[in-house]
Amino acid sequence: MIIAGGKLLENSRQSEITDGLEERINRALEAGVPKPETVIGAVVRLGERLKNGEFDSLIDSLGIEGAGEYKNAAISLMSREALELRLETELGGELPGAERSVPGLNGSGGMRVKRVPLGTLLHIAAGNAEGLPAYSLAEGLITGNVNILKLPQADNGLSVKIIMALLEEAPELSEYVYVFDTPSTDIPAILKLAGLADGIAVWGSDEAVSAVRRFASPGTRLIEWGHKLSFAYVSGECPGEDLEGLAEHIASTRQLLCSSCQTVFIDTDSMDDVRAFCGRFLPILEAAAERRFPKSPGGAAQMNLKLYTDRLRSHVLGERAGPYTGRLCSLIPCEDGELVGSPPFLAVPVKRLPEKDLFSRLRTKKQWLQTAGLICRDPRKRIELEDKLIRCGITRITDPENMSRMFAAQSHDGEYPLRRYTRTADILDNNGGTL
């Protein structure tokens, strides 16, 4: 489906809409920046409707695993407190359209500095997180941009419903929102949308990011939210509650998110330590996998198909199940110390990575590093490890249970989205001097 002018339209009207889209966008931009309070108020009211259960039947019908957790996280992020904290943290309280004065030096004229939207944002969204396309579009609205959203092929219709509900709360935003269900293979249509954009926010794989780089016009700002790798790092004593938290995280995300634990590293040179960890952790991970086994028919079928495929592959190749293989999960002790993207659905590499090799190993993956789930009970050692991990390129350090939890005002891959979706305009107050 297409959203244009606040209305749901059939995909067959795409050419008709896109042919006149530049004129419509220019009219909206010429009319001015939508007030941030308009967007915030609409998001807050939508969050209240979500909290009151208005969308529960819709969410249930989509069969989303962990829907309750997604809902609670969304309610928190859609609160007024969270949204205002983001504006303060990311933009220093400078609302789009607002201005501040900067005095001149040595008798020169001063300046007025305005925080303004980029203009038009094209969002090319990924489908690995429920509601992500609508979330990205809301960020573009808060910063005053006209937003064009290309839905991911895996979208289940939830994003369109969220966006239409948002426009119900603030119909005046309708001319700032355009949504297209355009296949990634329709290159001419995507090129047409990209040609309208001042900035392109692309979520997805390295291949998706590379493709956008090829077709983006020179001067278009690229905002890349690409594929990332995350891991757990265990140093020293490892209490059972930390392992239970790590197991819950792995089982709940099934290693499908950029912030999911892809590899467990042990601060050791010894493979015996790696195997001892696997022996201790396997029953804990198996118990979490049992608790987190998909309840929806679709999710259960997907998990069972994966398990059956793994067993069939092992049989055909003559492979034996490793000593750390459970019914629903497996731990794979590895001799190398490389960070890799693990196969999804609870197959976890466990590797040696002594602190002395931390920097040299992780820097080879510097452009893909995101979250480290750090288990270290020695306070002084933990601070040292945090500093070293940050210098390696890690942008987020948490306890293992919260590796994929979203917090208000956190950066995304080390950057503030609202800042990247705006620009600064300087207006010279020339009183006869020079800057």
pLDDT of residue 284: 97
137 occurs within a structural domain: yes
Find the CATH number of the domain harbouring 208. Answer: 3.40.605.10
Assess whether 136 and 244 both reside in one domain. Answer: no
Contact 145, 122 (CB under 8 A): no
Q: What is the pLDDT of residue 3?
A: 96
Model pLDDT, residue 307: 58
At residue 88, the pLDDT reads 92
Higher pLDDT pick, 315 / 382 = 382
Are residue 289 and residue 166 in the same domain, yes or no? no
Q: Do residues 220 and 92 both lie within one domain? A: yes
Report angle CA 198, 142, 67 to the nearest 5 degrees. Answer: 110
Question: What's residue 56's pLDDT?
Answer: 84
Residues above pLDDT 70, as percent of the chain: 89
422 and 378 within one domain: no
- pLDDT category at 344 given cuts 50, 70, 90 is low
More confident residue, 184 or 199: 199
Average pLDDT over residues 341-351: 82
Total domains in the chain come to: 2
CA distances to 7, 262, 328, 362 from 293, rounded to whole Å, are 39, 19, 9, 32
Is the Cα torsion angle 327, 333, 336, 338 positive or negative in sign? positive
pLDDT tens for 120-179 read: 999 998 876 777 889 899 999 999 999 999 998 877 788 899 999 999 999 999 999 999
31 and 152 housed in the same domain: yes
- By CB neighbour count within 10 A (0-12 exposed, 13-18 middle, 19+ buried), where does 347 fall? middle
How far is C-alpha 54 from the geometric centre of its chain's CA atoms?
25
Contacts 24+ apart (CB under 8 A), 326-330: 326/282, 326/283, 326/285, 326/286, 326/289, 327/286, 328/286, 328/289, 328/290, 328/293, 328/303, 329/250, 329/251, 329/282, 329/285, 329/286, 329/289
Average pLDDT over the chain reads 88
Whether 233 and 208 share a structural domain: no
pLDDT confidence of residue 332:
92
> Shortest CA distance to 246 belongs to which of 279, 275, 289?
289
- Does position 100 have pLDDT exceeding 90, yes or no? no
Q: What local confidence, expressed as pLDDT, does residue 109 receive?
A: 72
C-alpha to C-alpha distance for 105 and 122, rounded to whole angstroms = 39
Q: Is residue 6 part of a domain?
A: yes
Residue 408 lies in a domain: no
CA–CA distances in Å: residue 248 to residues 235, 261, 289 = 19, 11, 8
257 found inside a domain: yes
Q: Could you report the per-residue pLDDT of 215-246, keeping only the tens digit for each?
A: 898 899 999 998 899 999 999 988 899 999 99
379-417 pLDDT, tens digit per residue, is 999 999 999 999 999 999 999 999 999 888 889 999 999
| 180 is a domain residue | yes
- What confidence score (pLDDT) does residue 386 get? 98
Res 435 pLDDT > 50: no
- Residues facing residue 221 across a β-bridge: 199
The answer to whether residue 433 is domain-embedded is no
| 214 in the same domain as 242 | no
**Local confidence band at 434 (pLDDT 50, 70, 90 cut-offs):** very low
Decide if 29 is inside a domain: yes
Which tokens in the block code for residue 206? 């390295």
100 and 157 in one domain?
yes
Quote the tokens at residue 109: 């004229």
The b-or-e profile of 103-124 (16+ CB within 10 A means b, else e) is ebeeebebbebbbbbbbbbbbb
What domain range is 340 assigned to? Answer: 229-402
Residues 302 and 323 in one domain: yes
Distance between CA 337 and CA 324 in Å, rounded?
19
Residues 302 and 395 in one domain: yes
Partners of 124 in the β-ladder: 150, 202
> Residue 271 sits in a domain of what CATH number?
3.40.309.10
196 and 293 within one domain: no
Q: Do 217 and 257 reside in the same domain of the chain? A: no
